[in-house]
Structures are given as structure tokens and as C-alpha cells.
Structure 1
Amino acid sequence: MANAAQWVEGARLRTLPMAIAPIIVGSAAAFELGAFKWLNALLAAVVALFLQIGVNYANDYSDGIRGTDDVRVGPLRLVGSGAASPQQVKFAAFGTFAVAMLAGLVLVVISQSWWFLLIGVACVLAAWGYTGGKNPYGYLGLGDLFVFVFFGLVATLGTTYTQAGRLSVPALLGAISTGLIAVALLMANNVRDIPTDSEVGKRTLAVRLGDRNARLSYVLLLGIAIVLPLLLVLEKPWVLMVLLLIPATLMPSWIMLSGKSRKALIPVLRQTGLINLGFSVLYAAALVLSKAF
């Protein structure tokens, strides 16, 4: 039976900024529209965080029973290492999904956005289907697309809509940027796992692109994410604040491009998560300041 520290490590806390960043951006966009709601933002954060933890446990379970994690560089895998049984990890995944769905239901009732019930179901199915089921889309190279859609567009725009009842161009641009950074984090993770994934037939986008091209795509994703908000600079000069993030991208980009060993890529995951969080804070601050001044 895994101890508490192992369960926390299995939750992969370094990926949680990927969940909270779109909530910050979406809430700031709602504020700019004059409709920020603390309770709605908090509920959206609970949904995103528990979905992310659920995804991590679900991936641990599904990859573990397939043998994908038998030889893996990186954080502890509960099933692959034998620290916890597959059923225990599966139960943990569905338990966290249940918390996310409950918070989502409350959010839907408060916001009266009843069609978000379908989006909530889609989120859980996508979370499980990444590595679960007979034909997991993560094994087909579609994981990056789904991460962009759900951790970028859906999470950000959903946060804005459930507070403001409408969307805006700043919300959309922020959703695209935070989604691209989330994809960059996944790319870094999958570049590290190219050898083991190739052996077990897990054809992630990194595997399909090849090591060099996948590393280049990481840098490109970060670059586009930071530059994209500058489309608003004439109307909202404060968005220039996102350029302060550039120094934070230099080290992980250098690690990726220098062809460092698989083990050396592990810190890139945490660094990319912090980049996403930093982007969300700077972009949100820009929107708030634009509204205030």
C-alpha cells in the first residue's frame, strides 16, 4: 500500500499549474468584462485541479496495466513501481473525477449554464480516454490536441463564460496561449519518454515528430504563446508585460535544444508549469490594469 507521500508524488503536483493557469486567465477576462465572480472562479479552480489530478492517476493506472511504465525515467508511477495496486489507483482516479464533477455541477447551477453539463461529461471522458480504454487517443498522437482543447480553450473560455455569460477576444487569445504552453509541457514530458513509448507502441506526437523536431516544437510553442497577446498591444499596452516571461523560458528551451539526456529533461516539466502560471498572472494583470486605467 502506497504511503501518503507516494500518493502525493503520484498526483504529479508539478502539472497542476497547467490546471490553474486557464482559471486565472479566464477570470481576468471576466473581470475585464465587468463580471468577475469569486465563487464561480473558485469552483472552476476545483474542477480543473481535480480533473488534472484525476488524469494523472488515470494515466498511472492505464499505462501501468499496459506495462508502459515498467521502465520509465521520471516521477514515481504508483502501479508501475508496485507501490499501489491498479484497483487502488483506478479508485483514486474516479474519486478525484467525482469531486471535479460535483464542483462542476454546483458551478453549472450557479451560472445557469446548463449546456456545460455536456462539456463536463466530455472533460471526464477525455481525461480517461487519454491512456484508458481499448483505443486511447494518447497512444495515437492526439494527446497534444486534446490538451490544447481542454486545458486551453475549454478551461479558459468556460471560466469566463460561467462568470460573464459571454466571451471576448482577450479571453480567446489567453486561452490559445495558455493551451499552447500546456502542450509544450506535454511535449517535454513525451520527449523524455520517446524511447520507452516507442518500444510499447505509444505513438505520441513526440514519437511521430522524432526527437529533434519534437524539441524544436517545444520552443516554438512557447514562442507563439508569448507573442500572441501582442495582437492586443494597440488597445491594451499593458499586455507588453508578458514579455517579462522571456527570461524564464531560456533555460528550459536551452535544455530541450541542447539534446540533454532524458533524465535532464525532468526539471523542464516543473519549469514549464511555472511558465504557464507566470504567463497567466502577467496576462491577467495586464487585463485588470487595462480595465482599471
Structure 2
Amino acid sequence: MDPRKTAAAARSTKRPVPPQAKVKPATAGDWIAGARIRTLTLGIAPVVLGTAAAHFSAPEEGWHWVRALLCLATALLLQIGVNYANDYSDGIRGTDAHRVGPSRLTGSGAAKPRTVLTVALVFLGLGALAGLAVIVLSGQWWLLAVGAAAIAAAWFYTGGKHPYGYYGLGEVFVFVFFGLVATAGTMYVQVGTVSLEAWLLAVIAGLFACSVLVANNMRDIEQDRLSGKRTLSVLIGLTASRVLFTVLILAPFGILVFFALLFILAKYVFFVLLLAVPAAIIACTGKTAQEFLLVLKLASITSLVFALGLAAAIVF
């Protein structure tokens, strides 16, 4: 048989390749969604708690509103920056090709990777400037090293050749930076010291932040496994992740007992269990992406309401 005729016949039997669906360019709403607004409570909570601890420790000094607001700006800008950086890094790695949650700017093709990267770097830069302003006002220049570490942690979560978020270390860094550093740092730049109460509040903020991350990763276990992204939930499995989430979101209420003994109004914060318990129940029984997304939302709201309520109890 003539090889040329065989090749021609093979080409004639091939099915036509369907054209790829066109993706609409990202809208303003898409960019706002890319900032992952629902998770920004994790940047607000530690600043609120750290400021409350500062006021309780040194009420005679009054409120350091400028420093507190700059701490809040630093936390939120860096968090938005890391969210866009995560979008960019996961997108170019192909990790988001299997996701079942809300679509991402890079992975969906709605925005060019370079554009997403530029936006991420802009927010990280603005966060660095806000942090620098805090350092200048407080005179604590050694905090430059802490700020540099925070920015590095933001980028290497999913960026670089060996992102720590792909090796089950995401929760460790989230606990350190969204809990310990953010809360204790907020108090320190205002009054120059960190009290026992502040460290306990920092642990609370860190636990809530980790609960949100676990909720997110539980939803994406199968997709992350396919993509080679070894989050903690991928490593320990869904059942252990359910237990871990429950411990993380309920443990702050154990620490709350300490504050309830010190501040008469703190006992009312236990009403936040009305949000935390349903989140734990859904996390332990949920099977769909929508259910785990609800868990993430409830965990985020729980962290904010808890922080606001306890901060008010401490101050008033």
C-alpha cells in the first residue's frame, strides 16, 4: 500500500478540532472577585484584636489611630496582593485548570498573566509602603526584617520553584503571619510591648485564619491532587481535614474562657458559636463544592464577628 495514500486517508478521517470558546475579558467585578473579598476578614481581625490589646495595656496613652489604620492598610493590601499573586502563580502552573470553585483571572484566561502579576506586585508594594510608614512612626526599624519576611511569605506561598503552599505548609505560615505577627505586631507598634493577652489574641486570630484555609483546601482536595498541589488537606485526607477544621474553629472559644474571666462583656462573644457550630457541622458532613464554600464564608464571618465582639469587650 502506498504510504502517501495511507497518510491522506488518515487525515481525511480525522475529526475537525472544535474552536476554543472565547473568554470574555475580565470586568471590574471579576477583578474585585479576584481580590477574594470574603477572606479579607482575616486581615481585619488581628489588627482589631491587637489594637484592643494595646488600649487595654496602656489606656493612658490614648488611641494610636494613625498607626492602627496603617496596620490595617498593611494587612489588607498585602492580603490582596498575595491573593492576586496566588491567582497568577496557580494559573501559570495549570493548577486552576481543575478547580471547581470560583474561576480565577489567570486560569480562566480572562486576564493576561502579566497583568495579574503586575496588579499583585502593585498591591504588595502599597502594603510595603504602608508598613514602612508604621515603622517610621513607631521608630522600630528592626521591623523592616519582619516586613520583608511577610512579603517573601506572600510571594512564595504559591510562587517560585518550590512554593511552600504546595508542600502542606500553608497553615503554618498563615498562623504565623495572619495570627502572631499581625496581632502582636499591631500592639507592639502602638505601645512598644506585647502582653500575654495579645499573644492569646494572636493565637485566636491564627486559628481562625487556618480554619478558613482548611475550608478552602477541603473543597479542592481532588483537584489539587490532580494538579500536584500537596496542600495539608491533600496530605492528610478529607476525614482528618474535617476534624482539623472543627478543632481550629472551636478552639478560640476555649481561649475565650480566659477573657470571660477578665472582662465582664466577653462572655457574650460565646454567642458567635451560633456561626461556628453550623460551620463545623457542614464541614463534617459536606460533600459538594458549594457546601465547602459556605463553610469558608461562615468561618470568615465567625473570625470577624468574634474579633469585633472581643475587642469591644476588652475596650469597654
The TM-score normalised by the length of structure 1 is: 0.96
Instruction: Check if 1:246 corresponds to 2:273.
Output: yes
Tell me which of 83, 97, 106 is aligned to 1:56.
83
- 1:260 aligns to what SS in structure 2? coil
Question: Counterparts of 1:13 and 1:74 in 2: how far apart (Å)?
Answer: 15
- Structure 1 range deviating more: 96-105 or 247-256: 247-256
What's the secondary structure of 2:193's corresponding residue?
Answer: coil
8 Å Cα contact 1:25-1:284 kept in structure 2: yes
The yes-or-no answer on 1:197 pairing with 2:219 is no
User: Given the alignment, which residue of 108, 112, 118 partners 2:145?
Assistant: 118
Q: Which residue of 2 is the match for residue 236 of structure 1?
A: 263
Alpha-carbon shift at residue 183 of structure 1 (Å): 0.1
Deviation at 1:263, TM superposition (A): 2.8
* Residue in 2 that maps onto 1:8: 32
Which residue in the other structure is 2:201 paired with? 174
Distance 1:14 1:186 in 2: 12
Residue 23 of structure 1 and its aligned partner are, at CA, apart by: 0.5
Paired amino acid for 1:194: I
Shift of 1:228: 0.9
CA distance in 2, matches of 1:114, 1:226: 35
Extract unaligned runs of 5+ from structure 1: none
Please say which of residues 7-16 and 67-76 is displaced more in the overlay: 67-76
* 1:137-194 CA distance string (max 9 Å, x none): 0000000000000000000000000101111111111110111010000000000000
Question: Which TM-score applies when normalising by structure 2?
Answer: 0.89
Structure 1 ranges of 4+ moved more than 6 A:
none
Instruction: Give the equivalent residue in structure 2 for 1:90.
Output: 117
Q: Secondary structure at the match of 1:234?
A: helix
**Structure of higher CA gyration radius:** 2
| Identical residues among aligned pairs (%) | 46
Aligned length: 289
The alpha-carbon deviation at position 266 of structure 1 amounts to 1.0
CA deviations over 1:61-88 (Å, ceiling 9, x no partner): 0000010001211122000100001101
1:47-73 CA distance string (max 9 Å, x none): 000111011000000000010001211
Q: CA deviation at 1:37?
A: 0.5
Looking at structure 1, the residues matched to 113 and 150 of structure 2 have their Cα atoms a distance apart, in angstroms, of: 22
**Which of the numbers 269, 278, 281 marks the counterpart of 2:308?**
281
Root mean square deviation, CA, Å: 1.1
